[in-house]
Amino acid sequence: MSFPPDDLKELLERISNILIRRNETIAVSEGACGGLLAAYLVSIPGASKFFDGGRLLYSLKSRLRLSGWDSKDISLYTVPSESGALKMARNLRIELGSTYVLSETGIAGPSHSMAGDGDGSLSQNSIDLGTVYFGFWGPNGEESCTMHTGLSERSQNMQQFARLGLQFLLSVLEKQ
C-alpha cells in the first residue's frame, strides 16, 4: 500500500504546483477526516513551500473552543454545517495567515451525529452518515459546499471526505 494512495498523487501534485507557482500557502482545519487532509498534503515533496499547518478539531469540545466561535455560536450549535466550516476556515486564516484555508466537518459514522445542545449535553440529530461540509477562505472570497458519500463505514467515509476535500480545493484554486 502506498501513501498517499496512487489515485490521489496527481491531484496532490496539481494542488502543490499551483500553490508553489503562485508562491501561496494553504492551511487546513479538519474534523471527520481525522488529519488525512494534512497528511496527504505534507506527503508531497516540497510541502514546506506551500503548507502552513493544520488543526484537527475532532471532539465537540475542541470544535466549540478552538474554531473561533463566540458564546452565541456555541449556544446555537446543533450539527456540522457549511456555515460552521466557513467559520473554522476564517479563524484558522487569522491564526496562521495562510493565503488559503480549507476546512472540513462532517459525519463519518458509525452512527448519526451526536451534537451539542449548547449546554454541554448531547442529543441525537439527523444528518446522514457520509455527509461532509467544506469551507474555503481565500483573498478572493469564501466558498462552501456539502457533499455526500453514500457510505456508512467510518474509515471509508474518512478517506472519501479527504478525497472530496482535495477535489474541492483544486477546483477552487483553479478558479482563483
Which CATH number covers residue 49?
3.90.950.20
**For residue 159, what is its C-alpha cell?**
478517506
Say how many C-beta atoms besides its own lie within 10 A of residue 47's C-beta.
17
- For residue 47, is it within any domain? yes
Say how many C-beta atoms besides its own lie within 10 A of residue 71's C-beta.
9
The one-digit pLDDT tens for each residue of the chain (176 residues) are 789 999 999 999 999 999 999 999 999 999 999 999 999 999 999 999 999 999 987 666 666 665 566 666 666 656 678 888 898 898 888 889 999 999 999 999 876 444 433 333 333 356 789 999 999 999 999 999 999 999 999 999 999 999 999 999 999 999 98
- For residue 102, is it within any domain? yes
In contact, 77 and 116? CB cutoff 8 Å: yes
- For residue 65, is it within any domain? yes
Tell me the residue type at 172: V
| Full domain range(s) for residue 71 | 6-112+127-174
Residue 120: per-residue pLDDT: 36
The total number of residues shown for the chain amounts to: 176
- For residue 23, is it within any domain? yes
In contact, 27 and 165? CB cutoff 8 Å: no
Residue 14: per-residue pLDDT: 98
Q: In terms of pTM, does the model score above 0.75? A: yes
In contact, 135 and 146? CB cutoff 8 Å: no
In contact, 143 and 89? CB cutoff 8 Å: no
What is the maximum span of the chain, computed from C-alpha positions, in angstroms? 47
- For residue 158, is it within any domain? yes
Q: How far apart are the first and last CA of the chain?
A: 34
- For residue 133, is it within any domain? yes
**For residue 155, what is its C-alpha cell?**
474509515
Please give the tally of structural domains in the chain.
1
- For residue 122, is it within any domain? no
Distance CA 11, CA 124 (A): 36
In contact, 89 and 136? CB cutoff 8 Å: yes
- For residue 84, is it within any domain? yes
- Please name which of 113, 111, 108, 114 lies closest in space to residue 156, comparing C-alpha atoms: 108
